[in-house]
């Protein structure tokens, strides 16, 4: 009888270990839908998350929509995760959903150090154009122009207000509104000819890799403190981490850097597939897997890091 009890205990222990090895998520969690607002930085981070989840044996997909529709989709549990809530620019949009208990913003941001303000090529800063207060001093060299992006953009509105109110002596300057691509073409021409140019700059963005640029100081009252500093947060349905704890932990683990996103975005803006770009990047930077997959298993319960490396052809 004692031997039977011992065997039964051994079998029970084995079953417990087998159970512990299984993924924590039910089949209903295998499909993971991301919200995507069509921005290159969100395409990059969503591409990384998608590549990792594919390696873990999940079935990720994405829905492209405006921020309000994405948040509404999370509320209805039609979208499982959104990696692109920019605070403070999206705060007014997301607050009603949070106050209604319809979505959950993870406490830890997935990106810190983002910025959005006026910038110049670094040679212009070396020549003395270092702050908002310096712009008017270089009016002639700048041809009285400040380059923005698409009409209706909040950054353009901030620049136009400075011009209209003669803030920093900018009265009489002209805001050149155009597409992001057209603005960067103009910046590229100025850099090639070593000419002065002031433009809307932000990070993460490939411009930070392709050009040596300096963000102008002194614009805190216009664009916000610390060069228009922003944080990016992950948003989930309120009960998602309880329903899908394995993927929920994965989402909470994800943290990026501005340099990482800058470099991921370069090929994406050249129309390469974000997931393909992410897989190539992950193969070159496998050290990130230990942090991002800490405590995360593959869907079948196997080791998460091993599964992803296998899927990437690294093992």
Q: Which of 40, 29, 39 is nearest to 70 (CA)?
A: 39
Distance, CA of 70 to CA of 76 (rounded, Å): 10
CB 146 within 8 A of CB 183: no
- Domains in the chain, please, with CATH? 26-112+231-311 (3.40.190.10), 114-228 (3.40.190.100)
Preceding omega of 204 cis (within 30 degrees of 0): yes
Digitized pLDDT (tens) for each residue of the chain, 315 residues in all: 333 333 333 334 433 333 344 557 999 999 999 999 888 899 999 999 999 999 999 999 999 998 999 999 999 999 999 999 999 888 889 999 999 999 999 999 999 999 999 999 999 999 999 999 999 999 999 999 999 998 777 789 999 999 999 999 999 999 999 888 899 999 999 999 999 999 999 999 999 999 999 999 999 999 999 999 999 999 999 999 999 999 999 999 999 999 999 999 999 988 999 999 999 999 999 999 999 999 999 999 999 999 999 999 997
Per-residue model confidence (pLDDT) at position 4: 33
Distances 32 to 164, 222, 306 between C-alpha atoms, Å: 47, 39, 21
Q: What is the pTM of this model?
A: 0.81
How many C-beta neighbours within 10 Å does residue 49 have? 26
Per-residue model confidence (pLDDT) at position 89: 81
């Amino acid at each position: 009888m004692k031997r039977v009890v011992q065997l039964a205990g051994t079998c029970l222990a084995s079953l417990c270990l087998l159970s512990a090895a299984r993924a924590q998520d039910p089949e209903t969690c295998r499909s993971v839908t991301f919200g995507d607002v069509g921005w290159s930085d969100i395409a990059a981070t969503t591409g990384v998350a998608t590549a990792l989840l594919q390696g873990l044996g999940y079935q990720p997909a994405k829905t492209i929509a405006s921020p309000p529709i994405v948040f509404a989709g999370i509320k209805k549990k039609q979208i499982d995760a959104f990696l692109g809530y920019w605070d403070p620019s999206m705060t007014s949009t997301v607050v009603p959903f949070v106050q209604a208990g319809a979505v959950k913003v993870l406490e830890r941001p997935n990106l810190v150090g983002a910025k959005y303000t006026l910038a110049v090529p670094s040679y212009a800063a070396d020549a003395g154009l270092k702050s908002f207060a310096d712009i008017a001093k270089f009016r002639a060299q700048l041809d009285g122009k400040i380059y923005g992006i698409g009409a209706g953009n909040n950054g353009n509105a901030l620049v136009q207000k400075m011009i209209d109110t003669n803030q920093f002596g900018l009265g009489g300057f002209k805001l050149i509104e155009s597409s992001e691509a057209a603005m960067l073409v103009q910046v590229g021409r100025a850099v090639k000819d070593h000419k002065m140019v002031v433009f809307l700059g932000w990070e993460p963005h490939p411009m930070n890799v392709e050009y040596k640029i300096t963000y102008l100081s002194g614009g805190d009252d216009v664009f916000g403190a610390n060069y228009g500093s922003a944080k990016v947060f992950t948003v989930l349905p309120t009960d998602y981490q309880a329903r899908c704890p394995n993927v929920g932990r994965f989402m909470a683990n994800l943290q990026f850097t501005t340099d990482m996103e800058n470099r991921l975005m370069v090929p994406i803006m050249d129309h390469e597939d974000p997931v393909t770009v992410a897989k190539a990047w992950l193969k070159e930077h496998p050290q990130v897997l230990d942090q991002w997959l800490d405590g995360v298993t593959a869907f079948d319960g196997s080791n998460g890091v091993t599964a992803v490396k296998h899927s990437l052809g690294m093992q």
